[in-house]
């Protein structure tokens, strides 16, 4: 384990393509969708950001903020999305630090509350997220858990 560095994509815009590929490799959402959201953030079109944890030059964790994370409750916005920590780095508080970073950054821009969807049932509570409701996944009969951070 190295010394982790937590950054927004605005601090390292030259790594946008690499970050989009990294997220695509974790969630299989098309790279172009990540790039479009990242470009909107980098250009200042939106304050919905992208946050990374680096171990040296390696991306070991990340998450983003988007309007809606593929659920039918369009009123619950914005959504933290694509939360991921590399398996060999789990248990070091990376996701928690990223979650706290995004909440503070959003709050500093007047964006509150923020939401996220997940199937996890106890992880997010550790970081002051509260279960809010169930929501239907877009184009599906499946329901997913929605959390809120106020």
pLDDT tens per residue, range 87-123: 999 999 999 999 999 999 999 999 999 999 999 989 9
pLDDT tens per residue, range 53-85: 999 999 999 999 999 999 999 999 999 999 999
What the chain holds in terms of domains, given with CATH numbers, is: 4-112 (3.40.630.30)
Helices 31-42 and 16-27: angle between axes, nearest 10 degrees: 140
Q: State the pLDDT at residue 1.
A: 53
């Amino acid at each position: 384990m190295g010394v982790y560095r937590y950054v927004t994509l605005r601090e390292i815009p030259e790594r946008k393509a690499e970050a989009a590929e990294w997220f695509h490799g974790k969630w299989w959402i098309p790279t172009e969708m990540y790039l479009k959201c990242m470009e909107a953030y980098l250009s200042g079109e939106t304050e919905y950001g992208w946050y990374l944890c680096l171990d040296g030059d390696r991306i070991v964790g990340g998450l983003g903020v988007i309007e809606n994370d593929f659920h039918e409750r369009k009123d619950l916005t914005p959504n933290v999305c694509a939360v991921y920590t590399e398996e060999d780095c789990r248990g070091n508080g990376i996701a928690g630090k990223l979650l706290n970073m995004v909440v503070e950054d959003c709050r500093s821009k007047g964006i509150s509350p923020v939401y996220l969807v997940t199937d996890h049932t106890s992880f997010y509570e550790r970081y002051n997220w509260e279960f809010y409701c169930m929501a239907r996944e877009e184009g599906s009969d499946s329901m997913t858990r929605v959390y809120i951070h106020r």
